[in-house]
Amino acid sequence: MKKAIYPGTFDPITRGHIDIIQRSLKVFDQLIIAVAKNEKKKPLFTVDERVHMIKEICREEPRVIVEPFDGLLVNYVKKKGIELVIRGMRAISDFEYEMQIALTNRKMDENFETLFFMPSIDYIYLNASVVRELAALGADLKTFVTSHVEKRLREKYPLN
């Protein structure tokens, strides 16, 4: 059984992330979506809320497992026995950061591998910060997130 881990903060999960999940499922039999607590990013949603939103989106996909993690990614993947991590590579601007974390992780664990998927061109510009800002300003979010996530964002910014 081919398994991989897709880690991220997912604050919140966007259609760009969903695109990467769908591409990963063409290659892997099981995908663990590992939601980083990532307190340093001061997330808008709690880790439980982020996990819940992803579970809701993936509820009809039995090959997806969603769970939170805290601490070093290398320790988490070792514990799982799946040292293969998926990341999305949206543009050249992602490259330096992604290379840094992939190589740092490999320095800490020589078996650690990172596999990059390129998202659809429709989502190449998208990130969670933009989505949160648009939500705060009351913009239409349909093209960026699912209706369930849009609803959760509206609850966070009730004035809009």
The site for ligand COA (CB under 6 A) is made up of: 7-11, 14, 16-17, 20, 36, 38, 72-73, 88, 90, 101, 104-105, 119, 123, 126-129
Supply the minimum distance, in Å, between the C-beta of residue 126 and ligand COA: 4
Supply the minimum distance, in Å, between the C-beta of residue 22 and ligand COA: 11
CB neighbour list of residue 10: distance below 8 Å, 6 or more residues apart: 17, 33, 35, 50, 53, 54, 128
Supply the minimum distance, in Å, between the C-beta of residue 92 and ligand COA: 14
- Which C-beta is closer to ligand COA: that of 25 or that of 101? 101
- Which C-beta is closer to ligand COA: that of 90 or that of 152? 90
- Which C-beta is closer to ligand COA: that of 59 or that of 91? 91
Strand order in the sheet with 84-88: 64-69, 30-36, 3-8, 84-88, 113-117
Residue 45 DSSP label: S
Which long-range contacts does 151-154 make (Cβ < 8 Å, 24+ apart)? Answer: 152/12, 152/45, 152/49, 152/53, 153/12
Supply the minimum distance, in Å, between the C-beta of residue 40 and ligand COA: 9
- Which C-beta is closer to ligand COA: that of 29 or that of 133? 133
Supply the minimum distance, in Å, between the C-beta of residue 1 and ligand COA: 23
CA distance 37 to 69: 6
CA distance 154 to 78: 37
Return the residue nearest ligand COA (CB atom): 16
- Which C-beta is closer to ligand COA: that of 8 or that of 83? 8
